[in-house]
Amino acid sequence: MALRQEDIASWVDGYERAWRTAGTDTLGELFTPDATYSMAPFEEPHRGLGAIAELWEAERAGPDEAFTLRYEVVAVDGDTGVVRCEVAYGAPNRRLYRDIWIVRLDHDGRCFHFEEWPFVG
């Protein structure tokens, strides 16, 4: 499947909506059942929806967590998109991340491989 920048942008928008939504029921719309999710390039990936759900619940403060997400899709090749993002958590911004995300989507637009390269400011 040859993705377009719009496909990756739509997935990132869905990711942000899911992060802002209580619970993890929407993860199945974003990720395949056997997806891998890496939070840093040398960390062991979390595998499968159950592991990703546990990770999300452990990492986020909840659906009311104060943050802003800005992003730009910088490259798309085949089933892979590269996204540069900036996430500012807290009010005022207590933590600032500039990340590179590598997102691989299947033919249904669900992610089967998510890899984050975080840089903390």
**Tell me: the pLDDT tens digits for 20-50?**
999 999 999 999 999 999 999 999 999 999 9
Does the domain at 5-120 match CATH 3.90.79.10? Answer given as no
37 in Cβ contact with 27 (< 8 Å): no
Confidence grade of residue 90 (pLDDT, cut at 50, 70, 90): confident
Give how far the C-alpha of residue 32 lies from the chain's centroid of Cα atoms, to the nearest Å: 13
d(CA 53, CA 45): 13
The ranges assigned to domains in the chain are 5-120
At which residue do the structure tokens 């892979």 appear?
A: 80
38 in Cβ contact with 52 (< 8 Å): no
Which is more confident, 47 or 88? 47
For position 1, what pLDDT does the model report?
64
For position 86, what pLDDT does the model report?
95
For position 10, what pLDDT does the model report?
98
For position 83, what pLDDT does the model report?
98
pTM, two decimal places: 0.93
Beta-bridge mates of residue 77: 80
Which whole number is the average pLDDT over 58-73? 89
The pairing of strands 31-38 and 111-120 is parallel
